[in-house]
Structure 1
Amino acid sequence: MKVERVDLMDALRGFALIGILLANMLHFQFGSSGAEIIESANALNKVSYYFVKIVIEGSVYPIFGFVFGYVLIKMIESRENAELKYKNIVFRRAVGLSILGALHLTLLWEGDVLLTYGSTLFVLLLFFLKRRVKTYFVWGIILTAILGVGAFFGSNFVQLMKPLTAAEIMIYQEGTYVEILTQRVGEIIGGGGIGLVFTLLIIWIAFLIVSFLAVGPFVLFGMGMAKKDAFIQLEKGLQSYKKVALLVPVGLLLKGSIIFDTPFSLFMYSAGTYVLAIGYIALFAWLFNRYQTQMNHYFAPIGKLSLTNYLMQTIICTTIFYGYGFGLFGKLGVFVGILLSIIIYGIQLKISQLYLKRFSIGPVEMILRSFVYLRKPRKVN
């Protein structure tokens, strides 16, 4: 049972990784001007843009959060069964993810999510690690409702982010690494002394709150499902998975409302992201039970190395699009970006399969685990 459960979570994480790359590709290509490209895009790129927005964006990070919460509870249960302490491990994991995220955010790309999960883990450590199943679901629903209210009173969908100026686009296309780094974090590094410390502290506190609101619901849902021992005996839940998978078309319809840009589009889109994520998880569990060998072969390896692969996606894509690499920022269409995402993911999938024939843990995962457990993990199978 244990092997099946772990394989499902690894495969689900691997499945989410292609979605994350597709969603991030818009930002890699266009930055915060991503929403503006529709005005001048041709038909193929418009269809590609809305495909990413409706089918992918906003509905894959919740899956990552769900797996994150699920695996966290199972790790805690494993430590408790072995009569070992776990709070120090959770704390060091929060610190480790936050450090990796801060480095990723500062040195490579502003779209980091690792700092978000590290910050969320601090909140979980303080308030949510030893709670009843009901508590996890209740608080997950409360956070979802808060986000729903924010979406209901939020801005027009296309106006959510400030577009890049022509000068800023030029820096991404032709700038050096230092110039792009300065543009990304220039306002923070421009200060100094005590003022900088207080600024960073305030930013981190605000970021911690926003992070928990953003990914907390599905992390808590994952923790609750882990407490219920869901997905361990998949065959017993097949009918339930099939029924819940019907949320996929519902979520797609809700998210499709952005095409019409009504006053309620943002609210319907936001609701659709979560509905679609739940549907995707159920559909994947159902398919995993039927095609476990194939799913393990294709999705589990890249899922086991998800941290390394996630960071490699940033390195590859910033090299392709930023001025210190090939300088293709804003020059390729959305459709080409989708093709590029599939190629990158396919290469990572194959490399992950080959890598795991010799090693049992990825290089970045090894660094993080060494810090978390204060010992060097075994690398060779």
Structure 2
Amino acid sequence: MTFSSKDPPVVLEGSPGTFSRIANVDALRAVALLLILLVNVAFFASGYPFHLVPDPAHDSWSDHAVGWLVELLLAMKAYLLFAFLFGYSFTLQLDSAARRGVAIAPRFRRRMVGLFVLGILHAVLLFQGDILTTYALLGLVLLAMRRVRVGTALRVAVLLTGVIGFLLALAATSGTQLVTDPAAALAAGQRSTEALQGGIGSVIAEHVRQLPAMVGTLLVQGPLALSAFLFGYAAGRRRLLTDVVGNRQLLRRVQRVGYPIGLAGAVVFASGGGSANLTGLTVGLLTAPLLAAAYAASLLEFFETDRGRRVVAVLAPAGRMSLSNYLGQSLLCVLVFTGVGLGLAGTVAPAVVLLIAVAIYAVQVAASAAWMTRFRYGPAEWLLRAWTEQRWPRLRSADHT
């Protein structure tokens, strides 16, 4: 399916009868933010996860159970959901540019440059596990593929996942170990934790030290993120998220396939040591997209119910300023866990770490609702838009000028 003026029009916020459907997408993005925070918070709370070993200070069965559940339900699924929505939003930008008669390529390239710069600053100052730089680079690939048919996009997405899965399986069968010296990894985890407990200079130095290792991780995550981009692109071209009722049968099929296969793969992944074990990682990589898709399908159906609409009303503002909230999560985690703020790194049990993450998210949801009643964009979204458009867009909403 090629992009043309005959494609059905995109649903615009504020159009009659369509606001709730756009809000559903924002709410889905807000849920993805929560899932990402629940995964990432462990890397703020301790230096050991970056070295793929558990923190020996938290070695009880309950600590292991919490980590296992996060690996089972969230790891490798959260960022795929967010990446899917990035690809979906790209189709909205294509349609917006076409309606206004402007060239998409120069604007989108500027946007990706701005996103890359934000990602570099984020990685150095706040969180070396940044995903924005990867999204910025892969966004240029997505731009180059903007005229491909839906079928082609889906085939490339499946091929990317399959190739990465094959390479990881090959490495696993050859006996490759991700943690070759557990004692050295534990010592490195201790050093990283002590660095996080230090001041701003110590924290930044630790982030910079870990960047090469994170580049290696993104060699796996990057192709999977591009695959999710392409699935989101295909969903956007088919208007999947703006016609939940019309696509209910498809969403039900996604759930019937995604939950049993995705959860089975997640059990192998979590029980096999998560990202530290290549066999489990391979199985998780191949099945995580199915489980992430099942999550999205279930949420979209739930959002169409009376209770779901109330949830959407609460969550949608956070999704509208998702970039600001993603960066804000890291800032708040730095203030809570590192020596820049409360210095809790290495001292908090995994269950309490998750409760802190939920509290941070609740603060963000409330703050987002208050912000979006007064302003048109989140602060990071406004800066990125200003760079993209090469002008200062109006920030305050019409009711607060």
- TM-score w.r.t. the length of structure 2 is 0.84
2:129 counterpart of 1:90? no
Q: Alignment partner of 1:31: what SS?
A: coil
- Which of 172, 190, 193 is the matching residue for 2:196? 172
Give the fraction of aligned pairs with identical amino acids, expressed as a percent.
27
Q: Is the 8 A contact 1:25 1:337 kept in 2?
A: yes
In structure 2, the partner of 1:314 is 330
The reply on whether 1:230 has 2:240 as its aligned counterpart is yes
Consecutive unaligned residues in structure 2, runs of 5 or more: 1-10, 13-18
Write out aligned runs for 1:28-43 (5 A). Answer: 28-33=44-49, 35-37=52-54, 41-43=59-61
Q: C-alpha deviations, 1:287-321, integer Å up to 9, x for none? A: 12224522321221111111111111111111211
1:329 aligns with 2:352: no
Q: How far apart in 1 are the matches of 2:196 and 2:22?
A: 40
Give, in whole Å, the separation in 2 of the partners of 1:322 and 1:208.
Answer: 24
1: CA distance, partners of 2:192 / 2:355: 26
**Aligned pair 1:148/2:165, yes or no?**
yes
Residue 263 of structure 2 is matched in structure 1 by 252
Query: Cα deviation per residue 1:169-202 (whole Å; 9 max; x = unaligned)?
Result: 22222x22112222322599xxxxxxxxxxx9xx
Q: Which residue of 1 aligns with 2:3?
A: none
Greater Cα offset, 301-310 or 258-267: 258-267
Q: Aligned to 2:376, which of 348, 353, 360?
A: 360
Structure 1 residue corresponding to 2:297, chosen from 260, 282, 288: 282
CA-to-aligned-CA distance 1:231-279 (integer Å, 9 cap, x gap): 2222111232123123224312211113542874222222232111111
- Offset at 1:159? 3.4
Aligned residues: 365
Question: What corresponds to 1:159 in structure 2?
Answer: 179
Q: Which residue of structure 2 aligns with residue 115 of structure 1? A: 133
CA RMSD in angstroms comes to 2.6
TM-score, with length taken from structure 1: 0.88
Match of 2:227 among 204, 217, 228: 217
Give the letter for the 2:179 counterpart. Answer: Q
d(CA) in 2 for partners of 1:279 and 1:92? 34
Structure 1 distance, partners of 2:162, 2:127, is: 30
- CA displacement 1:104-148 (0-9 Å, x = unmatched): 1112220111111111112223x3122111121111111111221
Deviation for aligned residue 1:158: 7.4
Do the aligned partners of 2:21 and 2:241 also contact (CA within 8 Å) in 1?
yes
Name the CA shift for 1:259/1:353 in 2 (closer, same or farther; >3 Å).
closer
- From the superposition, tell whether residues 301 and 154 of structure 1 become closer, same or farther in structure 2 (CA, over 3 Å): farther
- Alpha-carbon separation, structure 2, partners of 1:29 and 1:36: 14
- In structure 2, what is the Cα distance between the partners aligned to 1:145 and 1:327? 42
Q: Which residue of 1 aligns with 2:288?
A: 273
Question: Which segments of 5 or more consecutive residues in structure 1 lack a partner in the other structure?
Answer: 189-199
Q: CA deviation at 1:209?
A: 6.7
User: What SS does the corresponding residue of 1:36 show, helix, strand or coil?
Assistant: coil
Asked if structure 1 preserves the Cα contact closer than 8 Å seen for 2:262 and 2:290, the reply is yes
Distance 1:252 1:110 in 2: 29
CA distance in 1, matches of 2:396, 2:80: 32
Contact 1:65 1:215 (8 Å CA) reproduced: yes
**d(CA) in 2 for partners of 1:17 and 1:165?**
27
After TM superposition, give the deviation of residue 8 of structure 1 in Å.
Answer: 2.3
Taking the aligned partners of 2:170 and 2:23, their CA distance within structure 1 comes to 41
Contact 2:178 2:278 in 1 (8 A): no
**Change over 3 Å in CA distance of 1:113–1:219 after alignment to 2:** same
Secondary structure at the residue paired with 1:378? coil
> 2:314 matched to which residue of 1?
298
Residues 69-116 of structure 1: CA deviation (Å, up to 9, x unaligned): 111112111211222211111101110100000111112220111111
Q: String of CA shifts for 1:1-30, please: whole Å, max 9, x gaps.
A: 433442222111101000000000111112
Work out the CA distance in 1 between the residues paired with 2:328 and 2:24.
23
Separation of aligned partners in 1, 2:338 and 2:314? 30
Q: How far did 1:371 drift?
A: 0.6
Residue 9 in structure 1 maps to residue 25 in structure 2: yes
Q: Is the CA contact 1:69–1:220 (under 8 Å) kept in the aligned structure 2?
A: yes
